[in-house]
Amino acid sequence: MLHEECGVMGAYDFDGGDVAIDIYHGLYTLQHRGQESCGIVTNDYVKLYTIKNKGLVNEVFTKENLGTLKGKIGVGHVLYGYTGEENDGIQPIVSRYCKGSMTIAMNGTITNYDELRSELEHRGAIFQSSSHAEMVMNMVAVARTQTHSAEEALAATAARLQGSFSIVLMSPKKLIAVRDRYGFKPLSLGKRGNCYFFASETSAFDVIRARTVCDVKPGELVKIDETGVTHYDDNVGKVTPAQCIFEYVYFARPDSYIDGKSVYQARIDIGRELYKACPAEADVVVGVPSSGLHFALGYAYESGIRYADGLVKNSYVGRTFIKGTDEVRREAVSVKLNALRGAIDGKDVVLVDDSIVRGTTSANLIRLMKDGGARKVHMRIASPPFIHSCPYGTDIPDRKYLAAVRMTIDEICADIGADSLGYLPMTAFDRVGLCGRYCDACFTGNYPDAAERKNK
């Protein structure tokens, strides 16, 4: 099964200009959401143009091949990970069926995938991959034979999907986006002149000089075609939204706004709350690049302790998050980050990171700091302990591997070699305005759709 934390992008230019270059720049901005593969498909009403492959955006696309992508409508995607098979799931996925062509880019995980796929297979569908996007495409194709339009087919399909999804679909003459009714994954609508864009994060709009029009609301479907931009909100507000709180903690870029809230400001505010909940006496506050930096700034603002750049990042190494073996992770940390001795030598340090998953990365970071001359390292974590898995697409390992499941906080502190350890309390999310409409199940076990999944 795919575990996606991907990025999607779509564009529709009412003036008829080629949209590929804008999608390319948007995907470049969304690269942090997926580094395994990427692709762009465009449509000039006559034919489709496709380029997709394994690799980073700047590896897959060149000035020359981008110039071959013609058309005023397009869809793009960056993919986080494969299921293991070669090219399994590289998106966007393109298919031809009785109503013409269909192209889909999707971020999310369908929790009733097995049941829906089995149903399709028993009706004769053939699959080339285990990609959830391919299964969604099959469902839309079937629904399209029973409905009057692509948007109706996508709406009918979305109504049967459980789990998380932000989907951008291109039919021969339309660009349509839909977001699951809990809104687990972000999706926004942007505009520059007469060109409209969908993107997983608003920072993708900044780079192409577009402005954010609005977020696609949880449960909403938005269609763009020759008649204009149409919002369908029949499913909006049917459940309490549950946007992934971890987008603010880790996934999203700090220059993005998710559902109207600044990721940067959320991180600064969380850092302030972290100090209030877990103060420490130290000479400097150091953030773990990149997602820990703004938490550390907030901690420094609130505490009055000086902020220092105590870790230097090698920007040419991809994210490691929670992939690979312990040994790979250990080496990856050392290659990716190095301690800045001049900033920490002989000092007591507060080291702020976004989370602890297995504990391996934290142990390596603390070793780096101490090798770099830090006298004491007080570890502060800008999220509560990770104690549950995520069925909505975040690649959290089995519970038995999670540090906070295996050990008490004191035991984790000793295990990672810290002089003290403090986590953000759950209540701090409330105080920074991240309450009421957010999923926090990996910290609490409160799965927003638990009842409906149990009923299946």
Name the residues that contact ligand SF4, by CB under 6 A: 184, 244-246, 390, 392, 394, 439-442
Residue 244 appears among annotated catalytic residues: no
CB of 150 within 8 A of CB of 169?
Answer: yes
Sign of CA dihedral 206, 207, 210, 212: negative
Instruction: Supply the minimum distance, in Å, between the C-beta of residue 184 and ligand SF4.
Output: 5
Token pair 């793009």 in the structure block, residue: 76
The total number of residues shown for the chain amounts to 456
Number of C-beta neighbours around residue 347 at 10 A: 20
CB of 209 within 8 A of CB of 116?
Answer: no
Per DSSP bridges, beta strands 376-381 and 348-353 are parallel
Number of C-beta neighbours around residue 53 at 10 A: 13
- What percent of the residues of the chain are helix, what percent strand, and what percent coil, each to the nearest 5? 35, 25, 40
Q: How far apart are alpha carbons 197 and 169 in whole angstroms? A: 12
Q: How far apart are alpha carbons 287 and 297 in whole angstroms? A: 8
Angle between helices 360-371 and 326-336 (to 10 degrees): 40
- 3-state secondary structure (DSSP) of residue 15: coil
Which residues have a catalytic role annotated?
Answer: 6
